[in-house]
A and B are shown apart, each in its own frame.
Chain A
Amino acid sequence: MSPQPQAAVGAPLSRVDGRLKVTGEALYSAEHDVDGAVHAVIVDSGIGRGRITSIDARAALAHPGVLRVISHRNTPELPYRDNSGSNNPPGRRLRVFQDDRVLFHGQPVAVVVATTLEAAQHGASLVKIRYDDEQPSTDLTKAEPGESTTYARGDADAAVRDAAVSLDLTYRTARNHHNPMEPHATIARWDGGRLTVWDKTQWVVGTQTELAAVFGLEMGAVRVISPFVGGGFGTGLRCWPHVVVAALAARETQRPVKLVLSRKQMYLGTGFRPSYEYRLRLGSDRRGRLTAAVHEMDAETSSYEQFTEGVLAAGQMLYSMPHVRQAYRTVPLDVNTPIWMRGPGFQTASFVIESAMDELAHELGVDPIELRIRNEPSEDEAKGVPFSTRRLRECFTVGAREFGWHRRNPRPRSRRDGDWLIGMGMATGVYDTVRAPAQARARLEADGTAVVEAASSDMGPGTYTSQAQVAADALGLTMRTVTFRLGDSRYPATPPHGGSMTMASVGSAVLDACDRLRRQAVILAIEDEESPLFGVAADDVVVRGGRLHVQGDPARGETYQRLLTRNNRSHLEAEGSFAPPSGPERHSFYAYNATFAEVAVDATLGLVRVRRILGVYDAGRIISPKLADSQALGGMVGGIGTALLEHTVTDHRDGRIVNANLADYLVPVNADIPDLKAIYLDGEDREADPLGVKGLGEVVMIGVAPAIANAVFNATGRRIRELPITAEALL
Chain B
Amino acid sequence: MSSTELTESAGPPPGDSGQSSATPTRRTFIATTTAVGGAVVAGGLIAGTSLVDAQEAAAADAVPSSRVSLTVNGTRRTVTVDNRTSLLDLLREHLGLTGSKKGCNAGACGACTVLVDGERVNSCLTLAVRLDGAEITTIEGLAEDDRLHPLQQAFIDQDAFQCGYCTPGQILSGVGCIQEGHTGSPEEIREWMSGNICRCGCYVKIVRAVEQTAPRK
Residue numbers of A with Cβ under 8 A of B are 14-15, 17-28, 30-31, 33, 35-38, 64-65, 67, 115-119, 121-122, 179-183, 228-233, 255, 260, 262-263, 459-462, 626-627, 629-631, 633-638, 661-663, 667-673, 675-676
Contacts and interface: CB of A to CB of B under 8 A. Distances in A.
A181 B190 contact: no
Interface in B149-191: 152-153, 155-157, 159, 161-168, 171, 189-191
Contacts of A673: 190, 201, 203-204
A633 B201 contact: yes
Interface string B43-87: 000010011100010011111000000000000000000101100
A669 B85 contact: no
B36 interface: no
Interface residues of B, number: 72
B101 A181 contact: yes
A570 to B, nearest CB: 31
Contacts of A662: 103-104, 106, 108-109, 197
Interface string B17-58: 000000001110000000000000000000100111000100
Given A19-B148, A181-B199, A663 B108 contact: yes
Given A24-B99, A673-B190, A118 B89 contact: yes
A182 B103 contact: yes
18 contacts: A23-B143, A24-B140, A27-B98, A31-B98, A36-B52, A115-B59, A118-B84, A119-B60, A181-B109, A228-B164, A230-B101, A231-B165, A263-B106, A630-B205, A635-B201, A662-B108, A668-B201, A673-B201
A634 B56 CA distance: 47
B68 to A, nearest CB: 15
A26 B203 CA distance: 21
Given A15-B156, A31-B98, A670-B198, 16 more contacts: A21-B164, A36-B52, A116-B82, A180-B165, A181-B165, A182-B101, A228-B163, A228-B164, A231-B199, A262-B105, A461-B162, A627-B159, A637-B203, A662-B197, A663-B108, A671-B190
Contacts of A115: 47, 50-51, 56, 59-60
Contact of A24 (B108, B159, B168): B168
A36 B138 CA distance: 25
With a 10 A CB-CB cut-off, give which of B26, B27, B98 has the most chain A CB atoms.
B98
B60 A181 contact: no
B214 interface: no
B67 to A, nearest CB: 16
Nearest to B82: A118
A51 B203 CA distance: 46
Nearest to A232: B163
A64 B62 contact: yes
Contacts of A183: 102-103
Nearest to A669: B194
B6 interface: no
B202 A180 contact: no
B139 A24 contact: yes
B60 A670 contact: no
A631 B162 contact: yes
The list of the 9 closest CB pairs from A to B, nearest first, reads: A24-B99, A637-B201, A230-B165, A21-B164, A634-B201, A460-B162, A460-B163, A24-B139, A31-B98
A565 B89 CA distance: 51
B201 A636 contact: yes
Given A18-B156, A19-B156, A116 B47 contact: yes
Given A22-B171, A263-B103, A668-B203, A28 B165 contact: yes
A630 B193 CA distance: 18
A65 B60 contact: yes
Interface in B117-165: 138-140, 142-143, 148, 152-153, 155-157, 159, 161-165
A24 B100 contact: yes
Contacts of B191: 670-671
B163 A180 contact: yes
B163 A65 contact: no
With a 10 A CB-CB cut-off, give which of B142, B167, B201 has the most chain A CB atoms.
B201
A182 B98 CA distance: 12
Contacts of B96: 33
A36 B143 CA distance: 30
B204 to A, nearest CB: 5
A362 B27 CA distance: 65
Given A15-B159, A634-B162, A671-B194, A23 B99 contact: yes
With a 10 A CB-CB cut-off, give which of B85, B190, B203 has the most chain A CB atoms.
B203
A65 B89 contact: no
Contacts of B115: none
Nearest to A180: B199
Nearest to A179: B199
Nearest to A664: B108
Given A14-B157, A33-B26, A671-B194, A64 B165 contact: no
Nearest to A626: B159
A596 B202 CA distance: 19
B23 to A, nearest CB: 9
A119 B63 contact: yes
B121 to A, nearest CB: 17
B80 to A, nearest CB: 12
Contacts of A462: 162
Contact of B25 (A17, A35, A634, A661): A35
Contacts of A31: 92, 98
With a 10 A CB-CB cut-off, give which of B103, B165, B194, B205 has the most chain A CB atoms.
B165
A30 B102 CA distance: 10
A179 B82 CA distance: 30
A459 B163 contact: yes
Nearest to A21: B164
B202 A14 contact: no
B105 A670 contact: no
Given A638-B201, A675-B204, A23 B152 contact: yes
B196 interface: yes
Contacts of A122: 84
B93 interface: yes
With a 10 A CB-CB cut-off, give which of A37, A118, A631, A668 has the most chain B CB atoms.
A118
A415 B61 CA distance: 68
Contacts of A33: 25-27, 96
Contact of A182 (B27, B140, B165, B202): B165
B110 to A, nearest CB: 9
Contacts of A637: 198, 200-201, 203
A121 B82 CA distance: 13
Contact of A230 (B59, B164, B194): B164
Contacts of B85: 118
Contacts of B196: 669-670
